[in-house]
Amino acid sequence: MSAIDPRITVGVDGSAGSTAAVAWAAEIASLRHLELRIVHGLQVTGLYYGGGMTGMGAAALFEAVQADGERAIADARTLAASIDKDLVVTTELPNEPPVPMLIDESRHARLLVVGRSGTGGFADMLLGGTAASVASHAHGPVAVVRGRSDGTVPEAGPVVAGVDGSPNSEQAIAVAFEEASLRGVPLVAVHAWNDVTYEDTRGTVRILTQPEALEEGEERLLTERLAGWSEKYPDVEVRRLLVHDRPRHALLEESKMAQLVVVGSRGRGGFTGMLLGSTSQALVQHAQCPVLVVRPDRKK
């Protein structure tokens, strides 16, 4: 695997969702003094295959699709320059479908950024499409730029981290502290839990332990997972939130006041082999702020 380059990569398609993603990615790249790479996948395969279009007709269609992609990239470059005129920007317009192209781009980027919805080359970005697919299969962290109910992407509010005790959650905590420190905002560490049950051989659901004991254990887990991070990031104010609820519900609620939610791609309750857990999937689809999905450490 190639070394990770010092860059932020953002996928564009000219839609409002990708425009918000470019602005967000440019701000992040500027703050961290990283290169911004703008990419657009030319989704031409299947547009005219089997449709009887050959020769000049097919060539004209390809040229039109390419022109749309070039406009999307040009507009994104102009937007990025308006945010930071000194930002180093590179672009790429490969003749590849968006999803595999973006997944391949994630091998080399510090962070891959996509919008919440799209059109044209990213026609299936309507959630469950590009955003969810890329977050599921990327080789590194992915940010899905979502916004409030009015469509605005928040610039104020804390960073929220989902904490569940899994190894992937540990990585999410590290990223969340770094993000909160760089942004100069508090970190809200959210740990949501439910009564643990199981079914015996007769199908009878039983409580494994008393709720009071469970709550004490979950509070201890949260404390242990945050231990040491405040010493490493003394500038970050930490707010702990222990909630007796499903994690997705608690984090979706917190996203209404946050500027960023950071979660692992799969938590301790995920099934082996699952690429994107139910909590991260719900956030990618419904959060009211950008969501940063942290994946397991990449092998160098």
pLDDT digits (tens, 9 = 90+) for 182-212: 999 999 999 987 644 444 444 444 444 555 6
Would you place residue 129 in the very low, low, confident or very high pLDDT band (cuts 50, 70, 90)?
Answer: low
Considering the chain, tell me which residue range(s) the CATH 3.40.50.620 domain(s) occupy: 7-145
> Helices 130-137 and 278-286: crossing angle, nearest 10°?
150
Residues facing 294 on adjacent strands:
264
Q: Is the pTM of this model over 0.75?
A: yes
Considering the chain, tell me which residue range(s) the CATH 3.40.50.12370 domain(s) occupy: 159-290
* Percent of the chain residues topping a pLDDT of 90: 51
**In terms of C-beta density within 10 A (0-12 exposed, 13-18 middle, 19 or more buried), how is residue 269 classed?**
middle
Q: Which CATH number fits domain 7-145: 3.40.50.620, 3.40.1190.20, 1.10.260.40, 3.30.70.2190?
A: 3.40.50.620
Residues in the chain: 300
CATH number of 159-290: 3.40.50.12370
User: How far is 235 from 186, CA to CA, in rounded Å?
Assistant: 9
DSSP secondary structure string for all residues of 27-91? HHHHHHT-EEEEE-----TTTSTTTT--THHHHHHHHHHHHHHHHHHHHHHHHHHHH-TT--EEE
